[in-house]
Amino acid sequence: FIILDGSYGYNAISVAPYAVVTGSYVLFADRLTIDEIEEFLDSVNPESILIYGIVDREVKNALARFNPEIINNEGDRFANNIEIVKKYMEVNGGKQVILTNGEFIEKEIMSGVEPVIFIGSNNVPDQVREYIKESDVQVGVLIGNELVSSATFIRRQLGISVFVKFAQSARAPAGR
């Protein structure tokens, strides 16, 4: 089981590929729902629990007896994302990743075929650059057209191929 706080939607995007390849369930927990989740986990006797990102203190305290693994590098969503990508690569490997900022949901992101690496809208954080340089990643698929400048930096400075997935959203309704 992977436990997240539902307030941070980008965390769900980050863990989705790992959840798919490990057959894990993702549960959203906060101080209001942790009692129900704790009761549920007691009934299923989980093999392992991963707490990902920022969660309420009550969630951590309630789940401590399950000896969970915790990924939360001082609330840094980019550092947390790289940690879950490393875990994904240990299980599934691969040379292709999805590049996005965590604001988009698309079928490919949720498929588990490749991990999701977060990039900034106008920059590529240092820990992301270092991971890409040190990894076997050779191809990035960009989801989010406004992130092209960051993806261009990745292609030019880090030397991986980047493909941009273009899409058109539903038009803004003009009337009924």
Q: Which helix (H) or strand (E) holds 152?
A: helix 148-153
Q: Are 12 and 4 in contact (CB under 8 A)?
A: yes
Model confidence at 176: pLDDT above 60: no
User: 121: pLDDT confidence band, cut at 50, 70 and 90?
Assistant: confident
User: 145: pLDDT confidence band, cut at 50, 70 and 90?
Assistant: confident
Q: Are 37 and 29 in contact (CB under 8 A)?
A: yes
- Within a 10 A sphere around the Cβ of 156, how many other Cβ atoms? 9
More confident residue, 121 or 140: 140
Q: Are 16 and 87 in contact (CB under 8 A)?
A: no
Range 59-84 average pLDDT: 96
Range 41-68 average pLDDT: 96
Going from the C-alpha of 29 to that of each of 3, 4, 41, the distances in angstroms are: 6, 6, 12
Residue 122: its pLDDT value, please? Answer: 86
Report d(CA 128, CA 120) in Å as an integer.
10
Q: How far does the chain reach from its first CA to its final CA, in angstroms?
A: 43
Model confidence at 168: pLDDT above 60: no
More confident residue, 27 or 121: 27
pTM of the model: 0.90
